[in-house]
Amino acid sequence: MTNKQQKYDVGDFAMFFGPAHPGSGNFSVKVEMRGERVLKATADPGYLHRGFEKLMEYRDPMQNSVLSDRVCVLEPLQWNLVHAEAVDNLMEYDVPERAKYIRVILAELSRIQSHFIWYAVMSLGTGFMTGFNVAMGYRDYILDVFNMITGGRVYPAGYICPGGVRKDLPEKAEKKILAVLDKVDYMRKFASTENLAWMARFKDIGVLTKEEAIKYGATGPILRGCGVAADVRRDDPYEIYDQLDFNIPVYDEGDAFHRFRIGLEEIEESMKIITQAVDRLPKGEVRTPNLKPTVQFRKAKGETYVRNELSRGEGAFYMVATGEKTPYRVKIRGPSFSHMIPILERLLTGVDYADLPAIYWSLYQCPADVDR
Amino acid sequence: MKIGPVKEVFKNLFKKPMTVMFPQEVVEIPERNRGEHHLDIDECISCGACARICPNRAIMMVEVPPELKEKYPKTYPQVDLGKCCFCALCEDVCPKGAITLTTYFFLATFEKDTTIKEPIIIE
């Protein structure tokens, strides 16, 4: 008791940032403060736990592919892709070339809309409502394309499924995708971060060093914002990424501002990838077992670990098959887990409370994949 | 002072808004949009594939009301739209194409019982 009295002074208090805070998502941070300064921050996840790893042990791969949308609400097609690749590996499916192109086009469109949300929430967190409204508005054009191709605006319901994709692209889809890229380009120019409001709120805020980023397991834009050029699409290519020409943006500064610059430049690179893929789109089948949507999972035996570059970082599936109808064990690695727990706690120590939303959103969090 | 923002304001004054006036105008719904189910009961062979593949177990094979029992003696899919996640796996798995998803999506309701969609409705 005496120790506590010595440690804390009268102006100290503890409070929650989230989960009911309008700018926190389904995640909460317990902050201990002295005046306006954060002394210690403790991440408090678990508000969005749905237990996918256990649910997947009771469902066959086709049903799981519908379930895999839900791992992260903001990038469902990319999670579809990781799951589908894991099952493809176990079943030794030879995915048709056209399906691979469609998968990449959709995954990159998903990355663009996810980065728009990043711009939107960073604006929202710092009180720049115009940015939020415009980014969400332009994201809608991409959602219209998803609706046309997959049948759902946000949830594709396992469109990218084991063995390929569930349906071929509809007529004129290529034209519509390219038309949407024009809108994306306009939005990208609008979202220029070289303005006073952004510089003041994000420059030199939440600086993460290269060593810390590696130590705490950062991936994706957070790691590239610290000067490490690591990208699964380049280091361990999947689908058709080895045949495509794109750059990996890297910045050495490691602050909130440059973390988001990576996002903006990745939108440009994604547009490049989509244009190339649409140009080279071959004709042919889109699904290996071209009969029924069911996967004969009893034939699969062994284990696999598949990792992909999602918009937030490295997402992976570990799956074990023992000759049953359903997987024996599934482990999902979400990129936000290491960003939102160790890195967030480290970056929030000693900052002003007003900088908390800026740092929080610059880490590109998704509570859904922290909790899974 | 920069002229850019002013130009943008004037451009937006005369631009068509992104949203539409909903009840009078609706946005175009794509053909593939996954909405409410439609069952062609005469095509259905009661194989139960849709009930087995449904990830949420929203489909149950049930008997039709007694007055139609003679015409439809088997069991037919009854969809609980309250449980359905609209993944369209039932549509893909159906060997006869009897169950399909329409583009209709105005499904909000105040009563829970009305979410259950019987295989055949007696008028």
Q: What are the tens digits of pLDDT across the range A259-284?
A: 888 888 899 899 989 999 999 888 88
CA-derived radius of gyration, chain B: 22
The pair of structure tokens assigned to A264 is 């903006």
Chain centroid to CA A48: 16
What is the C-alpha separation between A75 and A310, in angstroms, rounded?
8
The pair of structure tokens assigned to A219 is 């991936």
Q: Where are the beta strands (DSSP E) in chain B?
A: 37-39, 59-63, 75-80, 99-101, 116-117
A355 touches A329 (CB < 8 A): no
Q: What is the pLDDT of residue A121?
A: 86
Residue A67: its chain B contacts at CB < 8 A? 55
Interface check A154 vs B, CB under 8 A: no
Strands B116-117 and A12-17 turn out to be unpaired
Single-letter residue type at A180: V
Burial class (CB in 10 A: 0-12, 13-18, 19+), A67: buried
CB nearest A62 (choices: B31, B33, B89): B89
pLDDT for A193 beyond 80: no
Q: What is the pLDDT of residue B25?
A: 86
CB pairs under 8 A between A and B: 52
Q: Where are the domains of chain A?
A: 52-371
What is the C-alpha separation between A340 and B95, in angstroms, rounded?
46
Coil vs helix vs strand at A16: strand
The pair of structure tokens assigned to A125 is 């967190």
Q: What is the pLDDT of residue A305?
A: 92
pLDDT for A185 beyond 60: yes
Q: Where are the beta strands (DSSP E) in B3-115?
A: 37-39, 59-63, 75-80, 99-101
Q: What is the band of A45 on the pLDDT scale with cuts at 50, 70, 90? A: confident
Q: What is the pLDDT of residue A23?
A: 67
Residues linked to residue B63 through DSSP beta bridges, in sequence order: B75
Q: Which CATH number does A52-371 carry?
A: 1.10.645.10
What is the C-alpha separation between A305 and A328, in angstroms, rounded?
14
Q: What percent of chain A has pLDDT over 90?
A: 8
A1 or A6, which is more confident: A6
Q: Residue A151: left if φ>0, alpha if ψ -120 to 50, beta else—which one? A: left
User: Which letter does DSSP use for residue B104 in this model?
Assistant: -
Segments of chain B scoring below 70 in pLDDT = 1-2, 122-123
User: Which letter does DSSP use for residue B61 in this model?
Assistant: E
A148 touches A170 (CB < 8 A): yes
Between chains, do A170 and B31 touch, taking CB under 8 Å as contact?
yes
Q: What is the band of A69 on the pLDDT scale with cuts at 50, 70, 90? A: confident
Between chains, do A151 and B85 touch, taking CB under 8 Å as contact?
no
A303 or A11, which is more confident: A303
Half-sphere exposure of A212 (CA within 13 A, CB side): 16
A297 touches A139 (CB < 8 A): no
Residue A358 makes CB contacts below 8 A (sequence gap 6+) with A122, A125, A126, A201, A202, A205, A206, A256
Interface check B85 vs A, CB under 8 A: yes
Residues linked to residue A17 through DSSP beta bridges, in sequence order: A29
Average pLDDT over residues A161-175: 86
List, for residues A306-339, the tens digit of each pLDDT value.
999 888 889 899 999 888 888 899 999 888 888 8
**Strands of the A329-333 sheet, one edge to the other:** A301-309, A314-322, A329-333
Residue B34: its chain A contacts at CB < 8 A? 151-152, 157
Phi and psi at residue A357, to the nearest 5°: -60, -35
Q: What is the pLDDT of residue A112?
A: 92
pLDDT for A8 beyond 80: no
Residue A157: its chain B contacts at CB < 8 A? 34, 85-89
Residue A66: its chain B contacts at CB < 8 A? 55, 85, 87, 89
Mean residue pLDDT of chain A comes to 85
Cis preceding linkage at B23, omega within 30: no
Q: What is the pLDDT of residue A263?
A: 87
Q: What is the pLDDT of residue B122?
A: 63
The pair of structure tokens assigned to A340 is 């939102």
Start-end of H helices in B59-120? 89-93
Domains of chain B and CATH, by start: 23-117 (3.30.70.3270)
Cβ atoms < 10 Å from Cβ of A328: 13
Q: What is the pLDDT of residue A290?
A: 59
Lowest mean pLDDT among A121-135, A228-242, B89-103: A121-135
Average pLDDT over residues A238-243: 87
What is the C-alpha separation between A109 and B90, in angstroms, rounded?
27
**Strands of the A28-34 sheet, one edge to the other:** A12-17, A28-34, A37-44
